[in-house]
Amino acid sequence: MNTATIYARISSDLKDKIIALAKSSGKQQGETLTALLNQGLLYEESQRELKETQGKLTEVQESARTLGTELERVKADLAMARREIDVAERAKGHLQRILNTEVGRCVFPDCGAPVNLYGFVYQQCPCGHSRRIELHDEYKKAPGVGDVIVTGLAIFGGVALAAELLGDKRTEGTS
């Protein structure tokens, strides 16, 4: 190890402490001072490294927190979307059943095609005959059924919208 000498003026108080430390450790004063200086330099270095590490840790923690928050938000959005899809699917199924309910028959000669509520609302049989629909007896006679048909007519605007939502203008009468 190369050595060099420096001269420094220090307080007599500090000098006394170095002498006392050298005595207690059984070392030379110069050796003791060099050891102290080395420790001081190492301390500075390790403090700097510690600060850097802490900075990095804080950065990592912050991005982890941000990611966690983002993940929670995405999860919440997903749950919300799933609920909305469930509701839409149920509404769609319900509308499909209502629209597919067979309510009458086409009385055009040699036709007789069954007509569902959608067809009835538009007064059109599946074969394209207009205004030749006769309601089934149960829809003509049963009490309250008239109200159902009226309700069907009341949702006339809704039927068009529903058909659009269902993506099928010709909802087949399958019942």
- What are the Cα distances from residue 26, in Å, to 10, 23, 148? 22, 5, 109
Segment 7-66, which members bind Zn ion (CB under 5 A)?
none
Nearer of residues 94 and 131 to Zn ion, judged by Cβ = 131
Nearer of residues 25 and 174 to Zn ion, judged by Cβ = 174
DSSP 95-116: HHHHHH-EEEEE-STTT--EEE
Min separation Cβ 155 and Zn ion, Å: 24
Nearer of residues 104 and 152 to Zn ion, judged by Cβ = 104
Is residue 170 near Zn ion by the rule CB under 5 A? no
Segment 125-144, which members bind Zn ion (CB under 5 A)?
125, 127, 129
Give the residue from 156, 150, 144, 166 showing the smallest Cα distance to 119. Answer: 156
Is residue 115 near Zn ion by the rule CB under 5 A? no
Give the residue from 102, 104, 100, 95 showing the smallest Cα distance to 164. Answer: 95
Min separation Cβ 165 and Zn ion, Å: 26
- What are the Cα distances from residue 27, in Å, to 24, 37, 125? 8, 15, 113
Binding mask 74-113 for Zn ion (x = CB under 5 A): --------------------------------x-x--x-x
Query: How far is residue 141's CA from residue 115's CA, in Å, rounded to a whole number?
Result: 18
Task: Give φ, ψ of 4 to 5 degrees.
Answer: -145, 165
Nearer of residues 40 and 112 to Zn ion, judged by Cβ = 112
Residue ranges binding Zn ion (CB under 5 A): 106, 108, 111, 113, 125, 127, 129
